[in-house]
Each structure stands twice: as structure tokens, then as C-alpha cells.
Amino acid sequence: MPQPAQSDFRSSPVTRRWRAIVFAAAAVCGAIPASAALAAGAHAAPAYTGQIIVRWRDGADGNSKTPAAAADALKQLSERTGIAVTARRAMGGNLQLLQVPDALAADPEAAAARLRQDPRVADAVPDRWLRLHDTLPNDPEFISRQPYLMGTGTAVGGVNLPRAWDRTRGSSGVVIAVVDTGILPHPDLAARVLPGYDFISSSTISNDGDGRDADATDAGDNLEAGFTCPGSSTPTQTATNNSWHGTRVASVLGAQTNNAQDIAGVDWNARILPVRVSGRCGALLSDTVDGMRWAGGLSVPNAPANPTPARVVNISLGGGTCSSIEQQAVNDLNARGVVVVAAAGNERGAVEAPGDCSGVIAVTAHANDGENASYANVGPQVAISAPGGGCGNSQIVNGQCTTTPSVIRTLNNNGKTGLGTYVVTDSAGTSFAAPMVSGVVSMMFAVNGSLTPAQVTAALKTSARPHPSGTYCTTNPGVCGAGLLDADGALVAAAGTPPAQAAPAPDSGGGGGAVPPWTAMLLALSGLLAFALRRRM
């Protein structure tokens, strides 16, 4: 019997974090029956911060350039709602992060509802913690090859990359943003990584001694024994190691390939933009939204303009359900032609935000045999499935994984706190299925740079291979996406997709649906010509 794999779920309250670790690991690999895990369609309770993200209506924002005007806006908001709010910081997209009194922090949804009643507030959403969707098997006997990158002759669930690489190996003109824990200066990534940005606003969480800055290097997310995360009253009982999650995610989509060392990545040439949002205790929604927007080239207050905006944004973390704040960020990115790819989550439940936002390519995970991974979140929001490691649902019998679980090979750091010792690590989770899709999307742009986000999604879906017959995804249709990721099929579909038709310009004459004057003239002339020809026949 294979040894159980370890699971790594990170969120803000330490008690919830360790409860999730023990419960998810047991459900995935054998200590408890899979049926006892979080039911599909259910969301884990969100962990809130006591802060509210407010979107101001045009002309009524609290981010005014005049300090007096900004202070007056907050004063009026407090008087009208009865909530003594204070400003924390400005955010992109006409947003502002506000602090509410401790007495109201216990019910942040109610506080947000009261703030939304103010006519100058367009929306208000509680800030919450997101966690990494990462399951980390560390059994040294796990296989070290990468059959999941091969065709179906090697692995039923393989991505079919060798044939795709005959068409393209990607382009250095395409940028993929990794919104995550940052990236280590790894020799097998160094030539590909661009200068990014650290959006972690709390020095307590950042683990690097400061707040936001231009250094997106992963400073680690380990917790010392006795450390109490913000929002929790329970100190950590046992010290935890650094996850180096962002490096592992980046290596899946873009490790240097054909260089006779380490692992093969999906895209050989795309550049990688690290955007650091997650540190100790997880990631804040407010930091993550700012990081997403900046990654795609949208402006964020007090952050420099992004000189290398991403065409693809990979997010392998999440939590809760999609709020209007996240949806607006996705809408704004999609409007710029940016594709957002997100992991569905690892709690055997509903797809977690931002994966459940409209316009996001949500990715669930399957094992090498093509069956949905027992830990993977599923739901109608899922677009496609990609290799993520773990056990297929049918391989869990009486609460036990009856076969050797699949793994995803990733670049990692071998030290608990230091840098410089690099290894290849066995990983599993939707965190690593998502960058497989992101890498294929960047290759799709290499063969057809005119693709829109909607066309990319459509091409991925139409080219997907069917889920294996008789497995969870075929007996539960509509929850695992269109099928299994097929890189070669996606490139064929991308190359054959014509440019999207631009929406017709509105008629300056003002009549709804009226024919433009020059078009009417041409129609009239063609009609007269046809009439004259008929008269002569």
C-alpha cells in the first residue's frame, strides 16, 4: 500500500489552517472515507480581516487627491451609515480599503451591507484571506518522470505536448504572470523571469521586513512555533516549512527545457512575471486584486506602471466565492485581452474564487490515468481539467488510495529557510494543473496573437479530450469542464480561429439600428443599377 501523501493548505487563522491540513490529507489519501470530506457544492467558511473594500461611485471616491476631501468623504460615510470607518489605503479601480471598528468585525458581511446603503458607495466587500491550492506529496519513492506531459500512448491524462512542441515552443513576446508567493532566483528559471512586484501590504505577512516594493523574490511563508496569524487568537503549535509555492508553479509552466537538467516546462520561451501576494498566513483579497490588476497592465495607486504587462495571469490560490471586486478585476483584465487562469481548489467542494468568477478559466485536476483527482474542487464554473497529481476518485476504496498517486515534478528549494539548494520535488494539487493550462494558453498566443479571452476559452474547450468513460466526471456531467487538456489540439484550434469581429460603430445620426448614410447611399445605387439592368433585359 502506498504511503499517504502530505497535503498543504494555507489560510490565515492557524486553527482553520491546521484543521484543513489534517482533514484534507486524510480525505485524499486514506485516513477517513472520501465521502466524509467537504461535500461538493459547499464552501469552507471564509476568514475575514475586519477590513472592507469599498468601490466609490464616480466623483465620490475617498481616494481624492485632496486629503481634506478624502477625509470629508469618510466622515460623511461614517455619519450616514453609523460605522466609524478609517482609511487603510487606496486601491486600483476606484477602490479603497477601509477599517471598521472591532465591534463590527465579527459580522463583516453585515457591515459591508450597511456601507452599500450609502448612495456614494457603488459596492462594499469584506476583505478576506485566500489560501494556496497546493497538495504536496513528498514520498521519495514517487516516480520522478513526467508522463503527464506526453501523449495518450504514455498516459491517458497526458497533455500531448510533444506534438504541440512541433508546432511551437512558445514566444518570448508573451508574458505569463504568476500571482503567488513570489519566485526564487532559480537557475532553471533565471533566463525567463522578469522584474515583478511585491504587493504584500503587511510586513508581518511578507516575511521580508517591509511592505510593498519592487522585489518579488519569495521570502518564504514558514511559521515559527508560537506565531499567531492576523485574525486568529491561536498561536501555531508546530513550526512549518516554506512552501516556495510560486517557484513550483512557475516551473510547471516555464522551466527551461531541452537544457539537460531538472524538468521540462510547458512553454519553452514565454517570459514569467512574478507578482507576490501571498506570505505567512496566506494572501489578502485586497493585495491579490491589486496584484491581478497590475499584472495585466492596469494601474494601482502607489505602484509603478507595469512595463511588461502579462497576456496570461495564473492564480493558483483562492478562497470563498467570487465577489463583485474580483469580478470587476477579471472584467477589466478580459477587456484588455488578458486571460485569467485559476486553480479550482483542493477541498473536494465547490470552485473557489477567483476561479468561480465569470471570464476566468477555472481548472480542476486529474491523475495520470485521466480520472478526476479525489481532492479536486469541481462545479459548473470549471472550464477544463489538467494533470495535477493525486489519486483518481475510483482509486479511493474504503478511504484508502489503492495505487501509487500521480505527482507533478516541480522545481523547489531544499532548505527550510535559506536559499541556494535546489531540488526537484513531487507536488500535487490544482495549483499545478492551472499553470499547465496557462503554459498552453501562452503557446496559443504564439500561434495566434489576435485571440480574445473568450476565443481562448472556446478553443480549449472544443479541443479537449473526453473524460474517461465510467469515471466521476462522466457519471457527474457538467462539473469537470469540457474534458482533458490537449495542448496539440488547442494549438490547432487556436491557429484556425479567425480574428474576432469588432463591434459595429454606433450611427452618429442617432437612430437605433439605423443604417449609416454612406451604406444607405451604396444600397440605393445598387438598387438603381439592378433596376436599369432588368429594364434592358
Contact (CB, 8 A) for 388 and 136: no
CA-to-CA separations, 247 to 252, 274, 291, 498, in angstroms, rounded: 9, 9, 17, 35
- With b meaning 16 or more CB within 10 Å and e meaning fewer, what string describes 404-434? bbbbbbbbbbeeeeebeebebbbbbbbbbbb
Residue 204: alpha-carbon gap to chain centroid: 24
3-class secondary-structure state, position 197: strand
How far apart are the C-alpha atoms of 239 and 223, rounded to whole Å? 5
Phi, psi of 29 (to 5 degrees): -125, 20
How far apart are the C-alpha atoms of 35 and 73, rounded to whole Å? 51
Q: Tell me whether strands 271-276 and 339-343 are parallel, antiparallel or unpaired.
A: unpaired
Contact (CB, 8 A) for 185 and 419: yes
Of 8, 180, 262, 488, which is the active-site residue? Answer: 180
Contact (CB, 8 A) for 244 and 181: yes
Contact (CB, 8 A) for 39 and 349: yes
Of 43, 245, 366, 467, which is the active-site residue? Answer: 245
CA-to-CA separations, 319 to 206, 291, 502, in angstroms, rounded: 19, 16, 36
Is 180 designated active site? yes
- Sign of the torsion formed by the C-alpha atoms of 137, 140, 146 and 147: negative
Q: Which of 287, 222, 286, 206 is nearest to 17 (CA)?
A: 222
Contact (CB, 8 A) for 111 and 82: no
Is 245 designated active site? yes
How far apart are the C-alpha atoms of 35 and 129, rounded to whole Å? 27
- Burial, 73: exposed, middle or buried (Cβ in 10 Å; 0-12, 13-18, 19+)? buried
Name residues whose C-beta falls within 8 Å of residue 518's C-beta, 6 or more positions apart in sequence.
none
Contact (CB, 8 A) for 66 and 375: no
Q: Which of 44, 46, 12, 9 is nearest to 28 (CA)?
A: 9
Of 431, 438, 442, 463, which is the active-site residue? Answer: 431
As annotated, the active-site residues are: 180, 245, 431
